[in-house]
Amino acid sequence: MQQLPDRTGLAAILPPVVLEIGRLFEAAGHELSLVGGPVRDLFVGRVSPDLDFTTDASPDQTLAVVAGWADATWEVGRDFGTIALRKGEETIEVTTYRAEAYDPDSRKPVVAFGTSLKDDLYRRDFTMNAMALRLPSLELVDPYGGAADLEAGILRTPGTPASSFSDDPLRMMRAARFASQLKVGVAPEVRQAMADMAERITIISAERVRDELVKLINGADPRAGIDLLVDSGLAERVLPEVSALKLEVDEHHRHKDVYQHSLQVLEQAAELESGPDGPVPGPDFVLRFAALMHDVGKPATRRFEPSGAVSFRHHDVVGSKLVKKRMRELRFDNDTIKAVARLVELHMRFYGYGEAGWTDSAVRRYVTDAGPLLQRLHRLTRSDVTTRNRRKAERLAFAYDDLEQRIEEILAKEELESVRPDLDGQAIMAILGLRPGPLVGRAYKHLLELRLDNGPMGPEAAEAELRAWWADQPEAREAAAT
């Protein structure tokens, strides 16, 4: 962590609107401070894209101060004391000093406006976020030791953790998110309070939990964040499939720790993300979450075979269904759900062809089934190798290198990414004299299967195959009989 720059340095790196709005409030006789994450980020050498301010002014007074200066204002957060505004390219939120608490049985906070900056900082989540810069003087206000805790890399709360988490249980998720994003540890009393109060997370809306989970997964150290969720018991409430990966180790130790394996796959997948101009720019939530969840079907499919081996047959299919269910409960959008679930379903596909070798037909099906997820599937499959046996790992890596090369060769030759049968639906109907309906779909699927097996055939050969297929269909025989 670096030292906070002096006033001249701060004035040079902060957006000009920070000092401008500070002078406006000072001239109107009100206090204003930059607060929370933007102040914390100055200590780690970056300027936050978010500009959050706190003030002794009421929402009405805030609107009066910025009238004629702000380009636009919004009052959607007015009941919580927040006025949002835009000045040039910057979006700003100004919130009246406040104290808030959650009713034990309610998801909505009870808001009471406060009167002092110190009291406002006391109600914030963690000490490193309970720092402020008074404006326009740029004086640092740090009554709870946030700078020291940031330097030490430790999460603490301004008051007691129990009080903080009772006020807003989502802060427990936020602790895990910061463990991932900022690579910080968690004070023992904070960790204990999370374990004691984990059930309180159930009063928080699924959407808010989801948003924190996404930030955690996309952080610099997602393994640390997930570990904290699992160890505290929060995962049992928000992501129970991951907690279930801690399979009870049998007395003969016949299978590896699926939980630790999944965390390693998550780490390795993140390492394989590309730069901003590459095929999978990081952080990529779809890839990372699929990596974490790829084996969640194993607990339900674990079987001890007579030979003494442990099997997890069809855990990919079962896991895909579990992922869909969990992500729907967390209110993810349909596209994200489908992408993650499909990767989980396909993550074992590579091993199905490992011994027999890859025919052109198998390569085509692999590419077609993956569709736009192919580059992510490449990375997930490679990440799923966590064996300590170097020879085995090298053999698998070589086999996948060969597969990727085969894919590139066939893609270049056949444009598999947009693979279609040699005859479309209109041509099928014209040749067979059919009207639109299920029969046309069956015929189309048959031609697609031939295309995948044999590669491009051309319209004439495809028509011959279509007519041969049609001759064997019961509908054709019924038509001929009449």
Asked if residue 177 and residue 140 are part of one domain, the reply reads no
- Which residues touch 408 (CB under 8 Å, ≥6 apart)? none
- The angle subtended at Cα 188 by Cα 289 and Cα 184, nearest 5°, is 45
Phi then psi dihedrals of residue 40, to 5 deg? -55, -45
220 and 255 fall within a common domain: no
The mean per-residue pLDDT over the stretch 108-112 comes to: 65
Confidence at residue 479, expressed as pLDDT on a 0 to 100 scale: 66
Q: Are residues 145 and 30 in the same domain?
A: yes
Mean pLDDT of the chain: 89
Q: What per-residue confidence (pLDDT) applies to 424? A: 86
pLDDT of 355 > 70? The answer is no
pLDDT-derived band at 414 (thresholds 50, 70, 90) equals: low
Give me the CATH number covering residue 194: 1.10.110.30
Task: Work out the pLDDT band at 311, boundaries 50, 70, 90.
Answer: confident
* Higher pLDDT, residue 419 or 342: 342
The answer on 171 and 124 residing in a single domain is no
- pTM equals 0.83
pLDDT of residue 482: 59
Range of the domain at 467: 425-481
Alpha helices (runs of H) in 218-308, residue ranges in sequence order: 222-232, 234-238, 240-243, 258-271, 285-293, 298-301
**CATH number for the domain harbouring residue 303:** 1.10.3210
Q: Mean pLDDT lowest for which of 52-61, 80-89, 403-412?
A: 403-412
Last residue of a domain, one of 393, 418, 443: 418
The answer for 433, left when phi > 0, alpha when psi is -120 to 50, beta otherwise, is left
> Can you give the pLDDT at residue 250?
42
Is the per-residue pLDDT at 248 higher than 50? no
Q: Which of 152, 178, 203 is the last residue of a domain?
A: 152
pLDDT tops 50 at residue 455? yes
CATH number for the domain harbouring residue 93: 3.30.460.10
Burial class of 198 by CB neighbour count within 10 A (0 to 12, 13 to 18, 19+)? buried
3-state helix, strand, coil in the chain (%, to 5): 55, 10, 30
The yes-or-no verdict on residue 288 having pLDDT over 70 is yes
Domain end among 238, 270, 293: 238
When mean pLDDT is compared across 231-235, 293-297, 304-308, the lowest value belongs to 304-308
Q: Is the pLDDT of residue 249 over 60?
A: no
**Contact by Cβ (8 Å): 250, 304:** yes
Residue 115 pLDDT class (50, 70, 90 cuts) = confident
Q: Confirm if 445 and 411 have CB atoms less than 8 A apart.
A: no
**Cβ–Cβ < 8 Å for 242, 263:** no
Task: Tell me the pLDDT band of 435, cut-offs 50, 70 and 90.
Answer: confident
66-70, 281-285, 465-469 — which is least confidently predicted?
A: 465-469
Phi and psi at residue 403, to the nearest 5°:
-60, -45
pLDDT digits (tens, 9 = 90+) for 364-378: 888 888 989 999 999
Using the predicted structure, report yes or no on whether residue 78 has a pLDDT greater than 90. no
